[in-house]
Chains A and B, each alone.
Chain A
Amino acid sequence: MAAISREEVAHLARLSRLAVTEAELDTFAGQLDVILQAVARVGEVTAGDIPPTSHSVPLTNVLRDDVAEPCLPREEVLAGAPDAAEDRFRVPRILDEEA
């Protein structure tokens, strides 16, 4: 059985706002399946006494003091924006995007 269905790929594409064609869905579902199967092989060798790992380094409490640091100049901030107006990022209307 495939590790990921075509429907799941379509769902993820929609959540990620990616316009994926029907043909691409087949391609990506196949490719992702190969990747997931490969990763799943790791599961075959792990034993029950090994806890799930979310971080590869055994560190905790990496914190910073509450001390201000310089910010980016606004021209630089907005230089990366697709569009800007009134010193703000300009984005398309929001409501239409939502199903």
Chain B
Amino acid sequence: MTITLPPYEDVTARFEPVIGLETHVELGTRTKMFCGCPTGFGAEPNTQVCPVCLGLPGSLPVANAAAIEATIRIGLALNCTIASWCRFARKNYFYPDMPKNFQTSQYDEPLCTDGYLDVEVDGRPVRIDIERVHLEEDTGKTLHVGGATGRIHGATESLVDYNRAGIPLVEIVTRPIPGTGADAPAVARAYVTELRDVIRVLGVSDVRMEQGSLRCDVNTSLNRPGDQWGTRTETKNVNSLRSVERAVRAEMLRQAAVLDAGERIVQETRHFHEETGDTRPGRSKETATDYRYFPEPDLVPLAPDPEWVARLKTELPELPRVHRARLQQAWGLSDLDMQAVLNAGAVELIERTVAAGSSPEGARKWWLGELARRANEAGVDLSTVGATPADVAELQSLVDAGRLNDKLARTVLEGVLAGEGTPSEVMAARGLEVVSDTGALGAAVDEAIAANPDVAAKIREGKVAAAGVLVGAVMKTTRGQADAKAVRELILSRLGVQ
């Protein structure tokens, strides 16, 4: 069915979206959740497996203490209540990504409940309520063979690697988020971004969406104002922050078109397609609700010691929101300027540049100016543009010391981005240092005056503005390597104006 999508503004004028996010975070523990198999990324297939994670008869799981602690710390950072007693449960299903035919998870007794995360969208605060944070295990990786380009549709068989099966996975579920209107896609993105940053400072996961250590499912529904919430769909395969935003928007547009056509939204799992930016139906879940959860008999209940939990809470690191507020104050930035830094994804880069000795202003100028422009042109992330915070700090210190002017500094930066070395190395190799030798500069000035007698005459008569022509001439002979201000002063004093 081909449907014509209505304009986004039209959709948000007539419908109210409700979104919800389920985020999975693969913990960075050394070993798996219930066995001692290592968790390194990229190992040869089926080399990090043992009787426990293969579900062989007679094997017994034992929970990883580090994973429990990491999950509690995530819960605490999200302002959750930590359960005083809870159990693991078996989620039974037939799918070859788990060799046991069940996934060990948590059901009605999650480790952490009822929290929240404050995020900002265009400078406005939005509180996202967290329903639960629970601990489970990741599944194996399935390779579909025989169909088109590894897709499950049309595949004749599947090949399974269980290295990932059993790696601790934390699931973080929000409550439904109503009332965000046209901002719903931006709110979804802001939430996942903030969540990622929180988990990163906790140091419990590398939270890399492109490697799958942070995965996100997006629930979306639409209703007309005043009506009950609509039927929701769940969109999977959302593999980047940008995709989170695009997926919500795409699903809002699609659902509006379906509703406009007088049809119903089907409650289903859909897949986001990065290339086309739309969502399509995924595999139908087998009798979706019949997972026959029951308490895992092989694992005894968890009962975190309240004193230990209290200590973990006091030991939480400074969270990103607090950290940002502190930086904004230290850097003396307005809300608007800070927003620009945030939007550019430059907070950490500027912070590290300042730590490497630069002034906050100098650091911000380079990262938000020349480097942001370069990153944008190349379509890469600012952090991978090719200059490090140390490079930028060094560049700025050369400018501050008067050894580079602005124009030369840009040329030096070009060399750094081209991989020619550090700013000092590029400056030396290309001979770009400001000519501070007054003898050499004086000669260049005299030459310029001699070559432009009419201009010199005007300046002598008091038309100081004409000096620009001579400054330009000197800059040309010195290949831009002079300090324009110093040149100007030298010209004026030579001509007896000053």
A residues sitting closer than 8 Å to B (CB atoms) are 15-17, 54-55, 57, 59-72, 74, 77-78, 80, 85-95, 97-99
Contact = CB atoms under 8 A, between A and B. Distances in A.
Given A66-B30, A80-B56, A93 B292 contact: no
A87 B45 CA distance: 6
B400 to A, nearest CB: 47
Query: Of A74, A77, A86, A90, which is in contact with the most chain B CB atoms at under 10 Å from its CB?
Result: A77
Nearest to A73: B47
Nearest to A88: B159
A55 B86 CA distance: 12
Contacts of B283: 94-95, 98
Contacts, number: 141
A99 B304 CA distance: 42
25 contacts: A17-B94, A55-B295, A55-B300, A57-B300, A60-B301, A61-B302, A62-B63, A63-B63, A64-B36, A66-B66, A68-B31, A69-B31, A69-B36, A69-B50, A71-B38, A72-B49, A72-B50, A74-B44, A74-B46, A77-B54, A87-B44, A88-B160, A92-B158, A97-B94, A98-B283
Given A15-B290, A86-B45, A89-B96, A71 B155 contact: no
A87 B283 CA distance: 26
A93 B155 contact: yes
A88 B143 contact: yes
Contact count band on B: 35 or more
A56 B437 CA distance: 88
Contacts of A92: 157-158
Given A54-B295, A88-B160, A89-B96, A95 B155 contact: yes
A78 to B, nearest CB: 7
Interface of B: 29-31, 35-38, 44-51, 54, 56, 62-68, 85, 87, 92, 94-96, 99, 142-144, 146, 152-153, 155-162, 283-287, 290, 292, 295, 297, 299-304
A54 B303 CA distance: 15
Contact of B31 (A61, A67, A94): A67
Contacts of B303: 60-61
A76 B304 CA distance: 38
A92 B158 CA distance: 6
A63 B160 contact: no
A75 B258 CA distance: 52
A20 B229 CA distance: 42
Contact of A89 (B38, B65, B159): B159
Nearest to A14: B287
Contact of A77 (B49, B94, B286, B287): B49
